[in-house]
Structure 1
């Protein structure tokens, strides 16, 4: 059975047009995920364009128009419900999804291959010790 972690509400995602959070994936790497409005609920996608790994939400919310997520680099548009892109540089690709569940208006992370770390982007979380040294320089001033 999938463990569920409470994330936010459908209303919050709709009001803000998106919601960004960070997970640890099955490989142990941190990754960003966006929740976006879709029909009567929300969907969760990895926060990365399939063309050049451009972040779709750079910390200011996802750019959307007419139910499509817009890549800020080349303008490819992904359907917010299916993740599919039919135009631009990312044409004929689909955003990687993350499993969520919605119950009584609350959105839960429900993906066996993802562990919730924190709200916001990778850089917004506390240091978890895997980023290496702050500086690799041997010089001091």
Structure 2
């Protein structure tokens, strides 16, 4: 679906701790993707769908970005930690699961989206135009 698309620089991901962008998948669904630093990789960054495997919670949140601990991405809801280099989780409710990876390439310090299963839409998160700022609810009532 996509050609190689420049996203940002490795330096930006390392300095900011993460970088968020939005793609559209083959089912016409928008997905947020986060770039996170990975010291053990030759690319120095990896890209994962911005969703905890346990309860579909976003790992990157606008208010704080990504919480990192000992080379891992921490789920802000339950505390599971995903290795930033492999996406694997070995603790908490998400134990035994792996984050969904999106293919990227790093060339001369620049990060490129190379995953053929998605199309780049924009830098930043997916916004809901119907969001009026009120808390979400599972009922028909809005507060």
Q: TM-score range by the shorter chain?
A: 0.7 to 0.9
Match in the other structure for 2:7: 7
Q: How does 1:1-141 map to 2 (within 5 A)?
A: 3-39=3-39, 40=42, 41-59=44-62, 60-123=64-127
Q: CA RMSD in A?
A: 1.6
User: C-alpha distance in 1, partners of 2:28/2:111?
Assistant: 23
Q: How many residues align?
A: 126
Runs of 4+ in structure 1 off by over 3 angstroms are none
Structure 1 alignment gaps of length 5 or more = 132-141
User: C-alpha distance in 2, partners of 1:92/1:5?
Assistant: 32
Match in the other structure for 1:137: none
User: 3-state SS of the aligned residue for 1:11?
Assistant: helix
User: 3-state SS of the aligned residue for 1:24?
Assistant: strand
Superposition TM-score, scaled by structure 2 size:
0.84
Name the larger-Rg structure.
1
Structure 2 alignment gaps of length 5 or more = 131-143
